[in-house]
Structure 1
Amino acid sequence: MSMPDFPPPVPQPARKTWTAHATVRLAGVLILFAGLIGGGLIYWLADDVVDSASSAMQGRQYTAQMERIGGTSGVLVAQFNDWLGHLWHGKQLGITLGILALLIAVFCFWLAGLMAVEIPQDTPTRR
């Protein structure tokens, strides 16, 4: 005859397990909040950066020389490179970070929505 356990075992609450789509959704929420708060702080604390080298490159002589060397496509590539470089400085960095966080969070929410859809198992497959 066995002795009863003393004290009796205390029932433990069931641990909640996270599903994959809930984890992705939570990641989207965290990315959104972190990105918007970080972008807002950067925007609020940063100075407007005025790059004297880039403003000097916008002159007619520079554009004419770029067109002579690289053609019209060279001028367009230089302008695109200048625009892309401006996204990562000053207040524009805060805006860029906020937009990137929003886009990544929307992607996470979309992916979580796809993961949450259950496919019926009794559906016949086409062969």
Structure 2
Amino acid sequence: MPDFPPPVPQPARKDWTAHARMRLAGVLILISGVLGGGLIYWLADDPVDATAAMQGRQYTAQLERIAGTSGVLVSRFNTWLGHLWHGKQLGITLCVIALLVAAFCFWLAGLMAVEVPEDTPTRR
């Protein structure tokens, strides 16, 4: 029988708990979102405002006559929402979304880390 070398002992594998993985995900989301948003903010130019002509008094009066007050409010909301995805505002939006998602991950990890004693009665 051939002489094989003895097996090399492997280091103990570190098993990550669920809350540790959730915290790691939160940290990665936070770092990548803030870095990406900062890079976009730094490199982006402010977009040319083409909607300024559409927000005039005549346009608003005509829109109100056709669609009512709710149509004017929806139009303003749509314009505001459209501005969030262009230029420097996109970098800020990305940072805010990353902060919110990372905060949710940290909150969820905190909930997952709480251990419930086994002698706690359960409701049925």
Q: Tell me the TM-score normalized by structure 1.
A: 0.90
Structure 2: how far apart are the matches of 1:92 and 1:85? 10
Structure 2 residue aligned with 1:113: 110
Structure 2: how far apart are the matches of 1:19 and 1:117? 12
Range moving further from structure 2, 115-124 or 87-96: 115-124
3-state SS of the aligned residue for 1:36? helix
Structure 2 residue aligned with 1:76: 73
> Which amino acid in structure 1 is aligned with residue 107 of structure 2?
W
| Per-residue deviation, residues 27-73 of structure 1 (Å, max 9, x unmatched) | 11000000000000000000000222x11111000000110011111
What value does the CA root-mean-square deviation take over the aligned residues? 1.6
Matched, 1:21 2:22: no
Structure 1: how far apart are the matches of 2:15 and 2:38? 34
Matched, 1:36 2:49: no
Structure 2: how far apart are the matches of 1:125 and 1:41? 50
Shift of 1:88: 0.1
| Per-residue deviation, residues 75-103 of structure 1 (Å, max 9, x unmatched) | 00000000000000000000000000000
Shift of 1:123: 1.3
3-state SS of the aligned residue for 1:112? helix
Structure 2: how far apart are the matches of 1:21 and 1:126? 25
> Which amino acid in structure 2 is aligned with residue 72 of structure 1?
T
Structure 1: how far apart are the matches of 2:123 and 2:78? 50
Q: Tell me the TM-score normalized by structure 2.
A: 0.92
Unmatched segments (≥5 aa) in structure 1: none
Structure 2 residue aligned with 1:45: 43
Range moving further from structure 2, 10-19 or 91-100: 10-19
The structure with more radius of gyration:
1
